[in-house]
Chains A and B, each alone.
Chain A
Amino acid sequence: MAEPSIQSRLGLAPGTPPLVSLRGVGKVFPGVIANADVDLDVFPGEIHALLGENGAGKSTLMNILTGIYQPDEGEIIVGGRAVSFASPVDAIAAGIGMVHQHFKLVRAFTVAENIHLGWSETPRRISRAALEARTAELSSRLGLAVNPAARVAELSTGEQQRVEILRVLARKARVLILDEPTAVLTPAEARELFAALRAFVAEGNAVIFISHKLDEVLEIAHRVTILRQGRKVATDWTEACTEKSLAQQMVGREIVLSDMRGTDIGRIGAPVLALEGVSLMSEGVTLLKNVSLELRAGEILGIAGVAGNGQRELTQVMTGLAVPTTGRVWLEGADVTRAGARRIAAQGVGHIPEDRLHAGMAPALSITDNAVLREYAKPPLSLGPLFRPWRATRLAREIAAAAEVMVPSFEMPARNLSGGNQQRLVARREMRIASKVLVAAYPSRGLDVGAINTMMRYFTELRDAGVAVVLVSEELEELLTLADRIAVMFHGEIMGVVPAEGADIEAIGLMMGGRHAA
């Protein structure tokens, strides 16, 4: 039985070579095998998804392909010849360009300046008008609308991404690598991006699309390659895949993304944390507006809304990191409005912050130092003013074991851990102190399905133990699966609180857009 060739399924002439191939690529970092024996073919006209858990080796593989790393084994073949890239400059010269998750644009420069920055084809001396004219020409030729004169800092995330893509395409890239491009986009912007990508590959180019979002992969990609623990698990046509099959291959076990809501209504107890008319102003801007919320023991309260509508400030007020301009915060009947982060944490409020690298950890310090951030001041770690490092290491081991994170050395800087493992450590650290409340801001951001699943399991464990959990998320589905009630935020205001069971997604969507609950 002759299976149709890849070329024919992609509508290519028989024997068309791939634009780029990886053959047996391997990469070892001290103590870690990042990639081993990975093969990958990307053909003209193809959108090829790269799927894998955090730490599965997707980024390393793409960094090899774009010349940031050099492979320890194997080879890269472009146009039938083995090549070696010393730097991303070599890679882009060979037609391979990447748009990173965190944009590498100069915010103070205009779009035109960013496009031309560090580009060999930029004329040595050129006027601003000419620079912008060149950019406008590129923009229309490549079908990516940008305003050449605008400063990058003034652009929306979606527009910035377009500039990044234009920057790569202008350098005549034939293979465009996108690292989780939709994570920062609104659904409408994502649709525009997909249209642009389809147009790009229709001209005989290719896209490598890194993502965690299974639905997206199925929607946009022709084929998908799944990595697990640095190795390739499979390359499949997406028509033959389902979200479930992909998730299974990715994590290597069956995952149930099902209703995790508690069924025992009686478990919900007395109010633990309450906000009463809380407003927060900073430099004349209203960040929180008259927020009143009540959180009960044993429930999960979801906070929905488009990011940047006051969720961060809400978590800060709840955990004592910010003092409201007006209003009160009560913890089990005591006024903790001005108690400060330390006392609130000591009274049993854990906090998984939105940006763990900047708020929840000191990435340059050891894993031990980071693991004990909440308990260093208490016995047995401290006796009076004395701190006992050996007890700290013991506690760090416990937390790492509970978080199921393999740590080669506890003296290693925490930044050497993968994002998922950092998040797990922080989550476990906070769960240990969250005897009453856990405030979790976007805990699944940047995590793969398997890690999200683990994280959600943590929250249900806490809930079942009678802890009140605040879960801030932009994934409605996640909130609907997990939360008992969902509060929707818009411009610092709570638009309404609805029970998750039988919630009307349409109505929540309207509240996220600024409509008050009926």
Chain B
Amino acid sequence: MISIKSLSRRGFLNMGAAAGAGLLLPRTGLVRPAFAQAPLAPVDVKDAMIAFGHTGPVSDEGWTWAHDQGMKAVEAAFPGIRTSFVESVPYSADATRIFRQFVADGANMVFATSNYGDFLYDVAKRAPEVAFYECDGRTHMDNLGTYYVQHWYPSYVAGIAAGAMSKSGKLGYVASFPVPSVYSGTNAFLMGARTVNPAATVQCIVINSWFDPQAATQAGTALLDNGCDVLFGIMDEAGYLQVAEARGAKAVMWNTDLRRYGPKAYITSIMVDFKPFYVEQVRRRLAGEWTPTYGLLPMGQGVDRDAWGETVPPEVAAKADAARKKMMEEGWSPFVGEIKDSKGNIKVAAGQKMTEEELYHWDWSIEGVSGLDA
């Protein structure tokens, strides 16, 4: 049965969303206040309570686990602070109940690590003295901010390594749903790969879940059977990595370091790290400086490639890292026209650089990516 809860893990990013211009930051700064409004009153650390509502179990070794690490960092940074979290918060009126309960329990700050929409806003409206954050949200309120990661840059870096290590030039992708995170991930991955192998392609299989080890394993097997020899995906577990390991292929993962499940196959992972972000926001809240922020965490400050796997040749790693360094130090972007979609239409004119907002809302496949566009 399809569960709406899993769909919303990173939410549906809508093209044409009225996310105001200038909302997304240039990658230079971490966050910036949206409005010049009065910050929330300071809170003593002894009285403070920080709550997290997660979409999955903290033991998922993936997305939720990474957020839970953030909570642990907050606990370490502010000794004596009270924290609370609920796992697997459903995308239903029960979510409202859980967030209300946080508020009733005295939370000063509530992080929703996925998109809960009205279920969160209804509570935020009634608790103006509590700071709320919605991961991947797009609604702004005086006490509600949003945050997400610019995962397309490390995906591009990983793509360079994948393209270099693929013999067939056929890359496979285990997709959850055709959502922008998947479009930007596959597109960036292929663009990276094509810098070393211009004939590379990406074939996607959509399994309609963020967490379904069996389906992910089957999809991985099918991709390898089709001639792919490097797998990528956006799963919360290591299913297709194990397939790649068993079949002598390679794999790029998401969220966390999963190399122990397939040390030979492991290339890298799109690592997310919310620890500095959470610690900083809690600090601002306690200090009485907090006003809502609406940022995307840039590469190096919340999202990055993992240390390269043991079978990645040093020259491949060096090549990929060179691109990474250029992006991080020079602000270089590989997402520059001319870019064609899978049907051959020119979507980005030559010389034109895609904005962060466009990358965030990417909803079409570039030429060479198959399996997502209808």
Direct A–B contact present (CB less than 8 angstroms):
no
